[in-house]
Structure 1
């Protein structure tokens, strides 16, 4: 069994915009309960988060923005002023305790990073993290603070680490990319749905970094309705080569699971198969190039009943060395949650073969994605070398 830690607290559930907002951290409850029901979680696995300090948040965010978030829920800042910082909007409405909830998420990812880099464990996971859209001075896309960016900046400052960031959320990992766009010691790789149809509209092939960071930003924008084979081919063509050329000290992966066909906010058409393969492959790469050092965070995922618990259970199983192929979901878990679910819960961990009809444009989509991958690999910085 792998030396792994899962960062968790019920206080993570306080990161909740409203009862009708699509970002619903009840998914954490569902996932933890499924992990426990499958016998994959021991007391020694669990580690509590802590609050990130203002100084830590300021590794990425401006002091002015941090102060606005801290005061956002006290009624002293006019709504139009909050909107200038991406708050009090449809995506990012203000809720009570917004700073404390968001800073706890960041602190959870910092705890995961410290646990791995200090040698307390090989792998660590903060499922509440992965809030990859938050910008230096602005909330964006359900993200108040950018825990992944803060953790990477922390790893750079304290450990002088070369950090590989791998983002497989359906939405482009824009906030993390822009945080390190000119940093040659941080490589960001994002595989996402093309921004032609989806927020945030960025993540084009030509976004490759700037100044000394040219070549350390890689984007693979996939066509809408991409299915498993094409998605996994893009991953395999780009990510292992990037890790090999960059030679990181640690991998930080963002594991949004909103590329699934059931997800209500995106247009990709994958199945649970990719959520079995992604962590399996990232784990292999971490052990091959980083002495196993792997920090993982959550991310997007808006079918909280049928997709998120299964995808993130597969992630934890791989992180903790208890990898699962397929199994029936525990009867007690199904009986506990089916009365609350608005849809029929799946009975197996993996999606059955043939559950979805093939996409009519499969050949065209696959060809478009192959051309995109060729563009990425063509422009990959072949001069990127291992070393400090």
Structure 2
């Protein structure tokens, strides 16, 4: 019986890569693993390689037609008719272009997330982390937003069908977790909670506060669309109160969380203006909530994050340090200048196009304060109250 959290990772997962110029850069995953290893925080007995998902798992979320299209477009030279059909499946866009081998690698990512659920719900591990997962935009019949198969939805369906679990899905990516929400919009045994930048200005354009679920699932879809240029205090105020109240009301058997780290001010694809402080506080809140409401059962996945060098390795490492109760987490406080491992900085600075941060958290003065802070805070507070409207 394993009593430690597991870290699901295989080097082949970096093959999930659209092209050399695409913003979804898997160097961030390599750098995160290296940072944790140089810190001595990722013992090999915690690392578990993912195995490919059985096709029946994929078909629990995606249509057979879509899976067939993904397989066919995964060949080195698909039949000439298929590139013309790719648009039907969302696989011909600049965001989500088909690529050789995509079925195999994405199937393995889905399998890794399902294995995380098995490890936790079987009782073998208290928590499980799969950073290559979190591909939350894919729809049943459509690739979208850098996502081919929706491993998060596959993992949730697996938890429901094999273990009969009620699942709280918590999505902290700056982009709305639309694929997961719509997959379970009529399912009263899955509650989706997403905090993201408002869709008025950002892909995918959904996640309004009035998207609440349908039928017997009304009230199990909770969205907190925050304003552009939201800063740490307002983001955390919204997230903490809603998370605690939703978990208390829904009483899940398992929390599955998605950890896109693109709400940081450095991220080039969004407009939220948070610092590393939320990536210290947010996993701590989820961890505490899991122990309070569902016996600690927690599966965490990766997600977006497009400042490959300065943000993602730190944010994802903090997630694992929290999940594994590493002593370093207790030493970190907001805006504290505790240094990153010198060996990691020496390894990656020669390759980085920007100056790497020297500390785990952003030192005071790193980010300029935003104008309209009070107005943004009040607007977000109003949105938070609307999100909580139907909770007991």
TM-score range, shorter chain: over 0.9
372, 381, 389: which is aligned to 1:361?
A: 372
Q: Distance in 2 between matches of 1:71 and 1:137?
A: 14
The 8 Å contact of residues 255 and 297 in structure 1, kept in 2 or not, is answered as yes
Query: How many Å apart are 1:361 and its aligned residue?
Result: 1.3
Asked whether 1:7 is paired with 2:25, we answer no
Greater Cα offset, 213-222 or 352-361: 352-361
After superposition, give the CA deviation of every residue in 1:126-175 in whole Å (9 maximum; x if it has no partner).
00000000001000000000000000001100011000000000000000
Runs of 4+ in structure 1 off by over 4 angstroms are none
Greater Cα offset, 29-38 or 1-10: 1-10
Aligned to 2:52: 51
Aligned to 1:114: 118
Query: How many Å apart are 1:78 and its aligned residue?
Result: 3.0
After superposition, give the CA deviation of every residue in 1:341-368 in whole Å (9 maximum; x if it has no partner).
1100000000001211100111111111
After superposition, give the CA deviation of every residue in 1:84-110 in whole Å (9 maximum; x if it has no partner).
100021111111101001111101101
Q: How many residues align?
A: 381
Q: Distance in 2 between matches of 1:130 and 1:22?
A: 16
The 8 Å contact of residues 7 and 126 in structure 1, kept in 2 or not, is answered as yes
Asked whether 1:286 is paired with 2:297, we answer no
The 8 Å contact of residues 279 and 319 in structure 2, kept in 1 or not, is answered as yes
Query: How many Å apart are 1:381 and its aligned residue?
Result: 3.8
Name the SS for the 2:236 alignment partner. helix
Query: How many Å apart are 1:79 and its aligned residue?
Result: 2.3
Aligned to 1:386: none
Name the SS for the 1:189 alignment partner. strand
The 8 Å contact of residues 216 and 381 in structure 1, kept in 2 or not, is answered as no
Q: Distance in 1 between matches of 2:372 and 2:32?
A: 34
Alignment of 1:37-186 (within 5 A): 37-74=38-75, 75-76=78-79, 77-186=81-190
What TM-score, normalized by structure 1, do the two folds share?
0.97
The 8 Å contact of residues 52 and 103 in structure 1, kept in 2 or not, is answered as yes
Asked whether 1:218 is paired with 2:229, we answer no
184, 187, 191: which is aligned to 2:195?
A: 191
What TM-score, normalized by structure 2, do the two folds share?
0.96
The 8 Å contact of residues 255 and 296 in structure 1, kept in 2 or not, is answered as yes
Q: Distance in 2 between matches of 1:131 and 1:365?
A: 29
Query: How many Å apart are 1:2 and its aligned residue?
Result: 7.0
The 8 Å contact of residues 2 and 319 in structure 1, kept in 2 or not, is answered as no
Q: Distance in 2 between matches of 1:183 and 1:78?
A: 34
Q: Distance in 1 between matches of 2:222 and 2:7?
A: 29
What runs of 5+ residues in structure 1 fail to find an aligned partner? 383-388
Name the SS for the 1:338 alignment partner. helix
